[in-house]
Structure 1
Amino acid sequence: MGFQLQNSDFNKILNELKKEYKIYAPKRFEKRGTFSDTDMIRYGEIDSVEEIVWKEKSEYSPKEIIFPITQTLFYFTEEEYKVPKVDDKKIIVFLRPCDINGVRRLDTIFLKNGEHEDFYYKRLREKVKFVMIECKESFENCFCVSMNGNYTDNYSIAVRFEDGQVTLDVKDEDFKGLFNKVGKEVDFTPEYVKENHVKVEVPEVDKMPLEIFNHEMWKEYSERCIACGRCNVSCITCSCFTTQDIPYEDNPKAGERRRVWAGCHIDGFTDMAGGHSFRKEYGSRMRFKTLHKIYDYKKRFEENMCVGCGRCDDRCPEYISFSTCINKLNKVLKEEEKDEE
């Protein structure tokens, strides 16, 4: 069912929803960008439609809402532990189709990756409803069409923002009553990106020989990558973390265990007991990430892990392009296949 209403009326609905939900959307944080006079666009709680940044791509994904950067797993003393409570409010997130598809990848990793579901992820994820921001024009560095991340119908509401008004496709029965009161009924079907400026050809899983692990192409990234991890933390589908025990100063035998984001590009990620460490060369980390996104995950779950949002390319200070890396890999494999003929 479609509705159209003015921003002022939409804000009234947001205020009504805030009694029951926390509402997150991409918003502008002034003077918080890379340089002192630049802004940052990332996810935060909103109070009005005017706060939502929909004409620009957010620099970071919404994954921190359901997979926090730092999350206390439990508090402990000498004799017992206690799992922290979560806020009673449910969650609404405004996000683009690629990010909805990215969250589905996170669902697979945390909820369908083996016999046990991740308790901490699940209890936040169950609270979330999606409001899909219509995205019909590609941003720079996006390659969502190539990765099948450009389309989804997995949303409670789809919204088209226009100057002064919003148009919505409301699928969730929980919300239809709110819009019936103030919105004008219209026919509305959201549009999607049909073509990106960047195109990627993903290699087929069954044409990935073991020899590719030691190919010369990875050495380029040993020279260029600085292991800052920006690609990991901005990515909607990166799900790696480490754990830390934090003892309290007044009683070192009590404290809390936290999980904290980590990533395959970051120094120390592969450190093990006994002083062992793996993938010390930065090129081997690029190889690991690339093959995990388009080979390992796909071999298990029959779709690419990467959804083509392009944030890794946007955020890399060394201008390393993940889409270019995939195309280079595909080119190498085709050349080797031709040589064998």
Structure 2
Amino acid sequence: MGYRLREDELRQLFEMWNRDYVVYGPKCMAGEGMYSDTDVVRYERLKGFEELEWEKKSAYSFKEAILPITQILFYFTEGEVKEAEPERRKPALLFMRSCDIHALKRLDTVYLDNRFEDSYYARLRKGLRLVLLGCSESCDNGFCVSMGTNRTEEYDAAMNIKTVDGQVQAELTGSMDGLDAWLDGLGAGKTETAPDFVSENLVKVRIPEECGPEHVKAGLWKDYDSRCIGCGRCNFVCPTCTCFTMQDIFYQDNGRAGERRRVHASCMVDGYTDVAGGGCYRNSKGERMRFKVLHKISDFKKQFGYQMCVGCGRCDDICPEYISFSACVNRLADMGNAEKEVR
């Protein structure tokens, strides 16, 4: 059992949520797109329902809300180190698609369950409430069905939003504390409802059963030496990429005082694998592509039991060279099938 809400009731619901939470969701940023006079959808703080972009997939993932692009860890002087205050003190509420909720599980695995807990991530993750945005149809480049991330039950509330006869309506269900009592008090109509989930994508991906030496040494990786320009956009929009680099910033008025930051990094950009003495582990673009792809579909699974990639398709959307991650994975699968036929 759930509730049917009109647009005015949705606005009141957002007002209530904003009193208790910092609300984040996909928002259309006018004039801030990749090219001049273009818009972009990315996660930002939402002050009201009218700011929620519920029809288009966000170009950038949700992770900026709990894993800031630039995060100050601590300040230092000649004789003192002081940990930075949390970026927010109130709990957060996050509007997410099913694939992104699965991506959050990947972030939790890396930052909370991987040998030790990352306290900076944990304090922003604590108290997080998830509102599932139902998907009534597939996005262009998504392949969540192939990755098994098109459905989820890991949410606090779920919302299907539609326009009916020119009027915005929503169906809401969930188990958030106090939500039912508030909606009953609002007089919202009750209805039988369930979240919308995509059952088929235009893009279909076949994951190799096992990636071995033949996949590592495959000639296809050389194709990306000339195609990839090493911009790293595929990593920066990915909801499951977790790598960062460290920066020490020294203040001009006192060269012995400053701050340490961690900043999102990319395995596809120059300098990522540089080591002392001038060495570089993966100098060519093809080698970097190999590392990224095999980590997403094989190496992570060997360690944690499931693929890292959730099939959101953002990497395919953003690449200026039209390199397709999904097409690359299918090429690897075809290699395995060809080898079986030879045997």
What TM-score comes out, normalization by structure 2 length?
Answer: 0.96
1:278 aligns with 2:281: yes
Correspondence 1:128-277 to 2 at 5 A: 128-163=128-163, 164-182=168-186, 183-205=188-210, 208-277=211-280
User: 1:252, CA displacement in angstroms?
Assistant: 1.1
Deviation sequence 1:221-273 (CA, Å, 0-9, x none)? 11100000010000000000000000111111111100000011011111112
User: 1:17, CA displacement in angstroms?
Assistant: 2.0
User: 1:37, CA displacement in angstroms?
Assistant: 2.0
Contact persistence 1:59–1:311 (CA under 8 A): yes
Distance in 2 of aligned mates of 1:118 and 1:23? 23
Distance in 2 of aligned mates of 1:122 and 1:32? 30
Distance in 1 of aligned mates of 2:283 and 2:127? 39
Distance in 2 of aligned mates of 1:90 and 1:71? 18
Unaligned runs of 5+ in 2: none
Contact persistence 1:222–1:282 (CA under 8 A): yes
User: 1:92, CA displacement in angstroms?
Assistant: 0.5
Distance in 2 of aligned mates of 1:228 and 1:247? 27
Contact persistence 1:136–1:194 (CA under 8 A): no
Distance in 1 of aligned mates of 2:293 and 2:221? 10
User: 1:211, CA displacement in angstroms?
Assistant: 3.0
Contact persistence 1:131–1:159 (CA under 8 A): yes
- Which segment drifts farther, 135-144 or 6-15? 6-15
User: 1:165, CA displacement in angstroms?
Assistant: 2.0
What TM-score comes out, normalization by structure 1 length?
Answer: 0.96
User: 1:136, CA displacement in angstroms?
Assistant: 2.5
1:317 aligns with 2:320: yes
Contact persistence 1:21–1:91 (CA under 8 A): yes
Q: What is the RMSD of the two structures over their aligned residues, measured on CA atoms?
A: 1.1
1:93 aligns with 2:85: no
Distance in 2 of aligned mates of 1:191 and 1:11? 22
Distance in 1 of aligned mates of 2:30 and 2:196? 30
User: 1:177, CA displacement in angstroms?
Assistant: 2.3
Match of 2:12, as an amino acid? Answer: K
Distance in 2 of aligned mates of 1:288 and 1:174? 46
Distance in 1 of aligned mates of 2:173 and 2:16? 19
SS in 1 for 2:142: coil
What is the percent sequence identity of the aligned residues? 47
Contact persistence 1:241–1:263 (CA under 8 A): yes
Partner of 1:106: 107
Partner of 1:75: 75
Contact persistence 2:95–2:131 (CA under 8 A): yes
Deviation sequence 1:162-221 (CA, Å, 0-9, x none)? 22221101222342222221121211111210000000010113xx22132121110011
User: 1:35, CA displacement in angstroms?
Assistant: 1.5
Match of 2:36, as an amino acid? Answer: S
